[in-house]
């Protein structure tokens, strides 16, 4: 009888798990949602997203509370309006999808380490905060946020891994022993029987929100005016863009489905991936991957389904290959930390033949505005500024031009890409500058991959008719194909006839290289440059390995 009275007089307290979304703006294959929703004792869940003033410009929304965030070295804006709009669209889509599952998204315009402790204080009279769940990150800013939360929250702060195809716990070596050469990493992963964990189930319904008057008010003040308050309403994409998509998980899944199953463009990806025009030469999934609107495992799941119903070939394999590149840069960030931002690379080994970097405002201005006088470079840089996107081929070339031809500090290029690329993430961006794009900065992990691109050869190989250049440099549209990549070579009467006088209508080249000359007179290739037979079958060994992975897919894993 005494025990019965005590039970009724002290009912079980309700408890909440706060799910802090960062670069995981999705409900599919999301560890923090999965584990919060299946927590055995938590009765409620509160999803939260914070627009961080250190990364996004909140001056219009918050006035003088926060200054516009700038880059580390060159004082560039941290995020362009196009990139900010894509982020806002992704957050709002997450909010919509959470509503469909019976939940909501609490959106704040302040740092999470300031906002979440206040939320926890408001909850405490009625709820215990069981824990804060967030996705594991490896870069400095995100780690510092987590450390501050651990210090300020009177509740555990637990991180879960969901950023990569391969879980760090499943690597065949500890993180500190990660190979400094990608090929060694890839071969080690591909030799594993089950390198990839299965996709987590999508929840059908989420735990209820905590009932609280203040929280109810917070949940009703954000959605309708978020785009206007961030100053990005008037940032409609350029009609020339090859990325005419919006932010958010719904758009990501629609694009993945269309590219794999409707157009079947995946089957020729290895052949078309160096394209410049149109939406389907590549998957265009990277912007959603960067914000976590789409998980790499979700992509792999669709690739394997396509292979099962069609046929595995070199193009379907190449999707895995590039997802592993993305993984590799994430793990490099985990191994070397801020070394990915270091002038001399993660190994910090300067040699006598490395450049003395310039910081020349005139050269830097010409490069960012696409006014270098080299049409191939200018077209790519104008596409980036106007759309937030640039092909991988273009990125390699403009990066090589900045670092190798202009000798400008490569980190300026890294920060400019950070400002504008819709698919910016720190590990992939700075990893590619240092290593991935054949070490365009000359400071990469692998000394064998130190390549200097020839702008004229590249232009004639990949834009043989000059259609891409004419689209983004309209002052050159009437220039004959013979001269479109080298307009400074035009006789003056041809310049006048084409309404493109060099130095007046289009700039003089800011640099010329002697090695370009042998490609000036040669005719462009009349076929697209190919990297292999798109119908080449993958090896039986790879196919058998994939079947073993499927057979063992039910093996239990910890996703933390």
User: Does 552 or 19 have the greater pLDDT score?
Assistant: 19
- CATH architecture, domain defined by 15-162: 3-Layer(aba) Sandwich (3.40)
CATH 3.40.50.620 region(s) of the chain? 15-162
Distance of CA 232 to the CA centre of its chain: 20
CA distance 426 to 289: 13
Q: Token match 């003088």: residue?
A: 64
How many CB atoms lie under 10 A from the CB of residue 255?
Answer: 19
Residue 329 is labelled as binding a ligand: yes
CATH 1.10.579.10 region(s) of the chain? 361-521
Q: Mean pLDDT throughout 473-490? A: 98
Q: What is the pLDDT of residue 545?
A: 54
Instruction: Provide φ and ψ at 501, rounded to 5°.
Output: -85, 125
Residue 327 is labelled as binding a ligand: yes
Task: Tell me if 253 sits within 8 A of 217, measured CB to CB.
Answer: no
Q: What is the pLDDT of residue 412?
A: 97
Residue 64 is labelled as binding a ligand: no
CA distance 358 to 364: 10
Q: Mean pLDDT throughout 341-369? A: 83
**Strand ranges, E, within 457-518:** none
How many CB atoms lie under 10 A from the CB of residue 351?
Answer: 9
Q: What is the pLDDT of residue 227?
A: 86
Helix (H) or strand (E) holding 299: helix 296-309
> Which tokens sit at 555?
């093996």
User: Does 400 or 64 have the greater pLDDT score?
Assistant: 400
Q: Is 38 helix (H, G, I), strand (E, B) or coil?
A: coil
Q: How confident is the model at residue 285 (pLDDT cuts 50, 70, 90)?
A: very high
Q: What is the pLDDT of residue 7?
A: 30
Q: Is 502 helix (H, G, I), strand (E, B) or coil?
A: strand
Min mean pLDDT across 422-431, 515-524, 544-553 is at: 544-553
Q: Token match 């020349």: residue?
A: 360
pLDDT of residue 549 exceeding 80, the answer is: no
Residue 285 is labelled as binding a ligand: yes
Q: Mean pLDDT throughout 36-62? A: 95
Residue 92 is labelled as binding a ligand: no
Q: How confident is the model at residue 442 (pLDDT cuts 50, 70, 90)?
A: low
Q: What is the pLDDT of residue 556?
A: 39
pLDDT of residue 234 exceeding 90, the answer is: no
Q: What is the pLDDT of residue 230?
A: 87
Min mean pLDDT across 55-69, 182-196, 433-447 is at: 433-447
Residue 284 is labelled as binding a ligand: yes
Q: Indicate the fold that domain 248-336 takes in CATH.
A: 1.25.40
Condensed to tens digits (0 to 9), the pLDDT of residues 189-219 reads 999 999 999 999 999 999 999 987 767 777 6
Q: How confident is the model at residue 229 (pLDDT cuts 50, 70, 90)?
A: confident
Residue 80 is labelled as binding a ligand: no
Condensed to tens digits (0 to 9), the pLDDT of residues 238-260 reads 999 999 999 999 999 999 999 99
Q: Mean pLDDT throughout 123-133? A: 95
CATH 1.25.40.80 region(s) of the chain? 248-336
Residue 191 is labelled as binding a ligand: no
Of the candidates 128, 82, 124, 90, the one whose C-alpha atom is nearest the C-alpha of residue 107 is 90
User: Does 447 or 202 have the greater pLDDT score?
Assistant: 202
Q: What is the pLDDT of residue 216?
A: 76
Min mean pLDDT across 60-64, 236-240, 393-397, 542-546 is at: 542-546
pLDDT of residue 183 exceeding 80, the answer is: yes
User: Does 133 or 441 have the greater pLDDT score?
Assistant: 133
> Which tokens sit at 449?
């991959």
Mean pLDDT of the chain: 89
pLDDT of residue 424 exceeding 50, the answer is: yes
Q: What is the pLDDT of residue 352?
A: 52
Q: How confident is the model at residue 12 (pLDDT cuts 50, 70, 90)?
A: low
What phi-psi label fits residue 164: left (phi over 0), alpha (psi between -120 and 50 degrees) or beta? Answer: beta
Angle between helices 182-190 and 314-336 (to 10 degrees): 120
What dotted CATH number matches 361-521? 1.10.579.10
Q: Mean pLDDT throughout 172-180? A: 95
Task: Tell me if 226 sits within 8 A of 107, measured CB to CB.
Answer: yes
Q: What is the pLDDT of residue 299?
A: 99
> Which tokens sit at 428?
């992939």
Q: Mean pLDDT throughout 409-438? A: 91
Distance of CA 380 to the CA centre of its chain: 18
Min mean pLDDT across 124-133, 446-455, 478-487 is at: 446-455
From the number of C-beta atoms within 10 Å of its C-beta (0-12, 13-18, 19+), residue 374 rates as buried
CA distance 525 to 391: 20
Helix (H) or strand (E) holding 50: strand 44-50
β-pair partners for 250: none
Residue 66 is labelled as binding a ligand: no
Condensed to tens digits (0 to 9), the pLDDT of residues 263-278 reads 999 999 999 999 999 9
Residue 424 is labelled as binding a ligand: yes
* DSSP 8-class letter at 252: H
Task: Tell me if 94 sits within 8 A of 105, measured CB to CB.
Answer: yes
% of the chain exceeding 70 in pLDDT? 87
pLDDT of residue 490 exceeding 70, the answer is: yes
Residue 35 is labelled as binding a ligand: no
């Amino acid at each position: 009888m005494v025990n019965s009275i005590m039970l009724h007089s002290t009912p079980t307290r309700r408890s909440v798990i706060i799910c802090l979304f960062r670069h995981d703006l999705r409900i599919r294959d999301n560890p923090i949602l999965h584990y919060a929703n299946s927590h055995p004792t938590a009765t409620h869940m509160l999803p939260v997203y914070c627009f961080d003033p250190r990364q996004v410009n909140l001056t219009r929304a918050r006035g003088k509370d926060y200054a516009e965030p700038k880059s580390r070295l060159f004082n560039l804006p941290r995020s362009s309006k196009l990139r900010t709009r894509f982020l806002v669209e992704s957050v709002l889509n997450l909010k919509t999808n959470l509503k469909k599952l019976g939940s909501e998204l609490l959106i704040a315009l302040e740092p999470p380490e300031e906002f979440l402790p206040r939320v926890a204080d408001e909850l405490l009279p009625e709820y215990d905060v069981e824990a804060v769940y967030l996705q594991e990150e490896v870069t400095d800013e995100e780690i510092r946020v987590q450390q501050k939360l651990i210090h300020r929250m009177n509740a555990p702060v637990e991180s879960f891994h969901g950023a990569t195809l391969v879980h760090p716990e499943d690597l065949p070596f500890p993180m500190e022993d990660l190979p400094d050469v990608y090929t060694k990493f890839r071969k080690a992963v591909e030799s594993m029987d089950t390198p990839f964990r299965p996709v987590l189930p999508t929840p059908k319904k989420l735990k209820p929100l905590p009932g609280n008057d203040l929280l109810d008010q917070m949940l009703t003040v954000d959605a309708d005016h978020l785009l206007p308050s961030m100053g990005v309403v008037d940032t409609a994409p350029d009609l020339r863009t090859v990325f005419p998509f919006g932010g958010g998980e719904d758009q990501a899944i629609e694009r993945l489905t269309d590219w794999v199953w409707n157009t079947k463009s995946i089957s020729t990806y290895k052949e078309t991936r160096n394209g410049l025009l149109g939406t389907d030469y590549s998957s265009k999934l990277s912007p959603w991957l960067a914000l976590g609107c789409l998980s790499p495992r979700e992509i792999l799941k669709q690739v394997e389904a396509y292979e099962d119903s069609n046929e595995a070939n070199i193009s379907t394999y190449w999707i895995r290959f590039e997802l592993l590149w993305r993984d590799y840069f994430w793990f490099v960030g985990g191994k070397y930390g801020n070394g990915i931002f270091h002038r001399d690379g993660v190994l910090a080994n300067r040699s006598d033949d490395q450049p003395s970097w310039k910081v020349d405002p005139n050269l830097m201005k010409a490069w960012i505005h696409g006014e270098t006088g080299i049409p191939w470079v200018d077209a790519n840089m104008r596409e980036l500024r106007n759309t937030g996107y640039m092909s991988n081929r273009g990125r390699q070339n403009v990066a090589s031009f900045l670092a190798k031809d202009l000798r400008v500090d490569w980190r300026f290029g890294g920060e400019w890409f950070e400002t504008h690329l819709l698919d910016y993430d720190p590990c992939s961006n700075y990893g590619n500058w240092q290593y991935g794009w054949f070490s365009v900065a000359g400071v990469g992990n692998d000394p064998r991959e130190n390549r200097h691109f020839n702008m004229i050869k590249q232009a004639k190989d990949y834009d043989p008719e000059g259609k891409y250049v004419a689209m983004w440099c309209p002052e050159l549209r009437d220039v004959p194909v013979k001269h479109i990549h080298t307009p400074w070579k035009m006789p003056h009467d041809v310049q006048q006839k084409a309404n493109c006088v060099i130095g007046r209508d289009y700039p003089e080249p800011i640099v010329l290289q002697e090695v370009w000359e042998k490609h000036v007179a040669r005719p462009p290739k009349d076929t697209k440059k190919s990297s292999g037979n798109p119908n080449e079958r993958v090896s039986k060994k790879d196919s058998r390995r994939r079947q073993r992975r499927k057979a063992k897919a039910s093996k239990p894993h910890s996703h933390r």
